Amino acid sequence: MTDAPHQQPSTPRRAPQARLAKMQRHVWRWVRRHGGHTIQGALHGKKPHIKFPHIRFYLHELKDRPLSGAPTQRWHWRLYGCEALATAIMMVVGLSVCMVTLASSSPLAQWLRHWPLVQIALCGLGFGLACTAGALTRFGKVSGAHLNPSVSLAFFLSGRMKAPDMLGYFGAQLLGSLMGTAALWLVGCLVPQWAQMAQQTGYGGTYPAHEWPLWAVMVAELIATMGLVLVMLWFVAHPRFQRFAAWWTGPYFCIMNPLVAFISGDSTNFTRTLAPALFMHDYRGLWIYLVGPFLGSALAIFLVRSAVLGKLSLREARLVNFGHYGRVPQFAEPEAAGPSPEWLKANPPPKTSGPDPVAVDESPAGPVAN
């Protein structure tokens, strides 16, 4: 008589929550064992169905959200460097447009001089689209393409940036403006006709009109900058219009230039005025382009906070690449975004004394290893 085979007692199945917690612990353990690489590729900032398997976000990068006013690091040099290069691109394109449309020796300017309002409107349109050109570069997509101290100040006053990052953006915008103007100066050294147009237009700079008192020039800059910031915040606050956030500057300056440019030049941007002034050694009314735009930016934020224009809810201190939760994007793929702060809070990594692990992207069933 043979004994019946020994049967193991059945083990009750784990609850789904317990299985998920165990899987998450294994995932974090795998992450640390393999040198801190991600399991899944990052998702697109606006189109979550697009994945970037080669992009990796470390946990400290996901927690650091400087463009949402919640940084964990004091300085963000990748943002500042990209902001400087995006500003330089804007200056090269924008000042070139000003020179071609306004210089008396330019064939286009000679043809447009019979319609001065059209001429100045086209100049504004061109400079506004230069801002778009800088924003849509990879540099602008990383930094958020403020390109203007007044814009950075507005995001600071609205709580979307801290003071160190605002100052970092100020320095980057000044450096970028100087680099862009210097590039045009170098072209003028090689092409005499270009140097002539640069001198005729003051390198595309903005200067107060002689026939207007300085207080009127400052008020013009205040109003133009206030409108600029309000329009920007409106686009940023409405998700369905955020795809146009980088394109509105062209139409805005096209409309404002015929109204303001004959008074102040319609700068709204201190570094955009300062750089040409340095190359021309012409500092007439330079303080106006610092005080006026900054007051206009502050007044715009006051109007937004007082709900005079309705409730505007800001997401990130950037004009392009929404969906990053205020993080610093990867330069290799600026559109790639990590998981949301809510997911990270709901799925914290295990306590460890080892190297900082990386967070994985969210999925309906939690993180799953490829």
> Residue 146 belongs to a domain with what CATH number?
1.20.1080.10
Is pLDDT above 70 for 319? Answer: yes
Please report the pLDDT score of residue 332 as a whole number: 87
* 65 in a structural domain: no
**pLDDT for residue 321:** 84
What does the DSSP assignment read for 2-52?
Answer: PPPPP-PPPPPPPPHHHHHHHHHHHHHHHHHHTTS--SSPEEESS-TT-EE
Residue 71 lies in a domain: no
User: Does residue 255 form part of some domain?
Assistant: yes
Task: Kindly state the percentage of the chain with pLDDT values over 90.
Answer: 62
Torsion of CA 133, 139, 145, 147, to 10 degrees: -80
The answer to whether the Cα torsion of 70, 74, 80, 81 is positive or negative is negative
Q: Is 111 among the domain residues? A: yes
Assess if residue 314 is contained within a domain.
no
Residue 235 placed within a domain: yes
The count of domains in the chain is 1
Q: Which domain holds residue 297?
A: 81-305
Given a contact cutoff of 8 angstroms between Cβ atoms, the answer to whether 166 and 102 are in contact is: no
For residue 171, is pLDDT > 90? yes
Domain contains 28: no
Q: Dihedral sign, CA of 108, 110, 114, 117?
A: positive
State pLDDT tens for residues 283-303.
999 999 999 999 999 999 999
Of 184-188, 221-225, 304-308, 349-353, the range with the lowest mean pLDDT is: 349-353
pTM: 0.84
| pLDDT at residue 308, as a whole number | 73
Report if residue 368 sits inside a domain. no
